[in-house]
Amino acid sequence: MKITDLKCAVIGGFPVVRITTDAGIDGIGQAENWKPNLKPHILYYRDMILGLDPTNVEAVMQRIRRMGSFKPWGAAVSAIEIALWDIAGKAANLPIYKLLGGKVRDKVRVYNGAIRFPLRDQSPEAYAEDVRKMAASPEGFSLIKQGIAFHSRMPNDIPGYYTGDPRAWGRHPHRGMLSAAGFRHTVACVEAMRNALPAHIELALDCGPGFLPPDAVRLAQAVEGMGIAWLEDMLTGDYVPYVSAAQYRDVKAKTSTPIHTGEQIYLRQNFMELIETHAVDVIGPDPLDVGGIAELKWITEYADIHGIAMAPHGTGDGIFGLAALVQVCATLPDNYIAFEYPLARPEWWYDIVDGLPDVIVKDSYIDVWDRPGLGVTFNKNAQKYLLDEDKGFFDL
């Protein structure tokens, strides 16, 4: 089998990859919906993979893997990797999890980081009200993640929250020392959220990036005893093109609260220091940024033998990203906690794909499906949502 084309269309804001073959089998991959700029980046790889056998996934990846980088520049390579696995699964008439070594669980746990509501203000009461709403979702989530501190509006809306001037640009742009008042406010919000949730629902907190190590230690110690699932990306994280493993290790050594990072990191090599020096307790790469699902599988196995847990990121990954997460997470070892459940928006996304269960999430779990490849495919409704420039995407 040979690759005959690599295409990209932006559908409802999501860059979607389609790889076609001379056997009439195609494969789909997707990138996060806030990366519509990726289209030329995805097409950049086209000439490097034409004519190769897509079922030799690793051989194809060797051609393009070095031409990627940390988030957002690993997304194009990652989406192509997933489309290759989709083809390999369809060609073998097997779900992808079989090609990754087989499933070790029949259902995969998910957590809620995407079904959020506008906060009325930055008060502890508003945060408590918000997590109550997140917990009331019909998916029955048993783990909820809320943004606080530098991963929230606190630096902008709480006067004197930290030493720097609040920044209005970019993604999570703040960095500096928390003021005493800012620190107290943050802890009060965490307490209010924890008290608002029933005991069986866990609470994780996305915190940064932007903390300096002493504040990270103080916050982690202050919430000890509250049973927080993890504190995410305090020092470095989302859209930071480096890892800061040594600083994370300093923080982790001083607290019993689990410390988490990794959603922006590209490739296994960039997890080495975090894992080998036991710098964090939980890592959370996104299969759509880290280099794909085989990459995520390898990193999880390596983390497991070092006593580090895995909770993959996925909030913007859409339906094909969801399918990729279901397939790979079915194969992960016992250090797997849950993946971040992606919602597809606009709602019509659910009308243009076949293969999803009628109720996707039940009691915080998704039953692993057994159809070939990713197990979800576009149907004929998808054509009408293509932009004019992408009308030939499905070869219809």
Instruction: Using CB under 5 A, list all residues that contact Mg ion.
Output: 206
Shortest Cβ distance from residue 45 to Mg ion (Å)? 27
In the complex with Mg ion, the residue whose CB is nearer, 218 or 313, is 313
Q: Which residue is nearest to Mg ion (CB)?
A: 206
The order of strands in the sheet holding 282-283 is: 143-147, 202-206, 231-232, 259-261, 282-283, 309-310
Shortest Cβ distance from residue 232 to Mg ion (Å)? 5
In the complex with Mg ion, the residue whose CB is nearer, 95 or 285, is 285
Backbone phi and psi for residue 141, each to the nearest 5 degrees, phi listed first? -60, 135
Q: What are the b/e assignments for 179-189, b being 16+ CB within 10 Å?
A: eeebbebbbeb
Shortest Cβ distance from residue 234 to Mg ion (Å)? 11
Nearest to 141 by CA among 195, 65, 201: 201
Shortest Cβ distance from residue 113 to Mg ion (Å)? 7
Shortest Cβ distance from residue 145 to Mg ion (Å)? 8
In the complex with Mg ion, the residue whose CB is nearer, 28 or 283, is 283
Max distance between CA atoms of the chain, in angstroms, equals 64
Shortest Cβ distance from residue 257 to Mg ion (Å)? 16
Query: How far from 80 is each of 10, 208, 218, 295, 322, CA to CA, in Å?
Result: 15, 29, 42, 13, 15
Q: What are the b/e assignments for 327-347, b being 16+ CB within 10 Å?
A: bbbbbbeebbbbbbbbbbeee
In the complex with Mg ion, the residue whose CB is nearer, 206 or 295, is 206
Task: Round to whole Å and give the CA distance between 40 and 374.
Answer: 24
| Residue recorded with tokens 């070092």 | 306
In the complex with Mg ion, the residue whose CB is nearer, 206 or 215, is 206
In the complex with Mg ion, the residue whose CB is nearer, 26 or 206, is 206
Shortest Cβ distance from residue 245 to Mg ion (Å)? 17
Backbone phi and psi for residue 72, each to the nearest 5 degrees, phi listed first? -95, 10
52 residue type, one letter: L
In the complex with Mg ion, the residue whose CB is nearer, 131 or 330, is 131
In the complex with Mg ion, the residue whose CB is nearer, 202 or 206, is 206
Backbone phi and psi for residue 265, each to the nearest 5 degrees, phi listed first? -80, 140
Shortest Cβ distance from residue 312 to Mg ion (Å)? 11
Kindly report the number of other CB atoms within 10 A of residue 13's CB atom: 15
Whole-number CA gyration radius for the chain? 21
